[in-house]
């Protein structure tokens, strides 16, 4: 594609298209600041010299960054470019600060071992889901998960192996969930899953899928093959008023699953 000579004059229509400034704005600036000053081409059409067009492009970028036209329209191109470089550096620093703040916030929400939400963050996710169903109705599922015989794994193979098992279990659970489900490490070897839009039957289906994701394939770690199972308690409901009851129901159902032989899910009464 043939590129236009940057030093060549530009028509008013071209300047409007490339800078976003209307001809009325340019005329106001011409009267108020003496810039830009159009010339006449061989056809007696109003055109803007190339150096003025370049200044207008830089002014547009500075205005997009928050500068007021009265402070910059009468500056030379060199002054404008220096101001633009400074503005770009400031914006880049601001972006870096925002990114660092977001990374710090994200890190504070994460469990260091598994990378899942930590207890506080997953409880926040539960409260958000309660509030959502307060506003628009519907229901959601709560699944409490516990790794069976985890103390035996630690005692037999050591805590490093136990940590590896928790990381793998967490990864398998996360892989079985939808993108808008939430999962966090609730404490020790327990995990909490929040599943929006699930009633009791769909929450049970989710629990069975999670169980099979973990239990169907042994975990290989540090040269060991470990048959790991999980037990799950399932509850479903809606609204902030049901929050504590759902947690309590899922927790009681989890212990019922363990008492019933483990490697299974039980629905809250």
Does a structural domain hold residue 110?
no
- In terms of domains, do 172 and 61 share one? no
How many domains, in total, are found in the chain?
A: 2
Q: Residue-wise over 37-56: b if at least 16 C-beta within 10 A, else e?
A: ebeeeeeeeebbbeebbbbb
Q: Specify the pLDDT at position 100.
A: 81
Look up the CATH number of the domain holding residue 82: 1.10.1660.10
Q: Tell me which residues are annotated as active site.
A: 189
- In terms of domains, do 136 and 80 share one? no
Does a structural domain hold residue 167?
yes
- In terms of domains, do 84 and 134 share one? no
- In terms of domains, do 65 and 169 share one? no
Does a structural domain hold residue 162?
yes
- In terms of domains, do 79 and 136 share one? no
Look up the CATH number of the domain holding residue 220: 3.30.70.270
Give the DSSP per-residue string, 84-97.
HHHHHHHHHHHHHH
Q: How confident is the model at residue 78 (pLDDT cuts 50, 70, 90)?
A: low
Q: Would you say residue 14 has pLDDT above 50?
A: yes
**Greatest CA separation found in the chain?**
94
Decide: 198 and 139 in contact? Cβ < 8 Å. yes
Tokens of 256: 């019922």
Q: Specify the pLDDT at position 29.
A: 81
- In terms of domains, do 152 and 225 share one? yes
Does a structural domain hold residue 218?
yes
72: left (phi over 0), alpha (psi -120 to 50) or beta: alpha
Q: Would you say residue 102 has pLDDT above 90?
A: no
Q: Specify the pLDDT at position 80.
A: 72
- In terms of domains, do 58 and 178 share one? no
- In terms of domains, do 128 and 54 share one? no
- In terms of domains, do 157 and 249 share one? yes
Q: CA-to-CA distance for 240 and 219, rounded, in angstroms?
A: 38
Task: Please report, for residues 47, 207, 235, the alpha-carbon distance to residue 195 in angstroms, rounded to integers and kept in the order given.
Answer: 62, 10, 10
Q: CA-to-CA distance for 197 and 17, rounded, in angstroms?
A: 48
Does a structural domain hold residue 109?
no
Does a structural domain hold residue 60?
yes
Q: What is the pLDDT of residues 204-235, one digit of tens each?
A: 999 999 999 999 999 999 889 999 999 999 99
Does a structural domain hold residue 112?
no
Does a structural domain hold residue 210?
yes
- In terms of domains, do 130 and 68 share one? no
- In terms of domains, do 85 and 135 share one? no
Tokens of 268: 């809250």
Tokens of 94: 């601001």
- In terms of domains, do 27 and 62 share one? yes
Q: CA-to-CA distance for 171 and 176, rounded, in angstroms?
A: 9
Tokens of 50: 């190339």
Task: Determine the structural domain holding residue 15 and report its residue range.
Answer: 10-93
Average pLDDT rounded to a whole number, residues 72-100: 75
Q: Would you say residue 47 has pLDDT above 50?
A: yes
**Secondary structure element (H or E) that encloses residue 238, with its range:** none
């Amino acid at each position: 594609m043939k590129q236009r000579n940057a030093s060549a004059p530009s028509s008013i229509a071209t300047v409007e298209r490339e800078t976003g400034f209307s001809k009325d704005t340019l005329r106001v600036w011409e009267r108020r600041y003496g810039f830009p000053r159009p010339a006449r081409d061989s056809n007696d059409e109003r055109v803007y010299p190339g150096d003025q067009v370049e200044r207008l492009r830089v002014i547009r970028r500075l205005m997009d960054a928050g500068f007021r036209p009265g402070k910059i329209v009468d500056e030379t191109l060199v002054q404008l470019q220096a101001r633009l470089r400074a503005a770009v550096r400031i914006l880049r620093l601001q972006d870096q600060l925002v990114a660092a703040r977001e990374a710090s916030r994200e890190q504070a929400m994460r469990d260091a071992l598994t990378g899942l939400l930590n207890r506080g963050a997953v409880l926040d996710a539960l409260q958000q889901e309660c509030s959502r169903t307060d506003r628009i109705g519907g229901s959601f599922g709560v699944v409490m998960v516990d790794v069976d015989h985890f103390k035996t794994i630690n005692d037999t193979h050591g805590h490093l192996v136990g940590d590896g098992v928790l990381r793998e279990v967490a990864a398998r659970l996360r892989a079985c969930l939808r993108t808008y489900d939430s999962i966090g490490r609730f404490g020790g070897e327990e995990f909490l899953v929040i599943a929006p839009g699930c009633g009791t039957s769909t929450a049970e289906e989710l629990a069975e899928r999670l169980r099979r994701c973990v239990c169907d394939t042994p975990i290989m770690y540090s040269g060991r093959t470990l048959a790991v199972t999980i037990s799950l308690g399932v509850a479903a409901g809606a609204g902030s008023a049901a929050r504590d009851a759902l947690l309590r129901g899922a927790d009681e159902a989890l212990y019922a699953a363990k008492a019933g032989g483990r490697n299974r899910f039980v629905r809250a009464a």
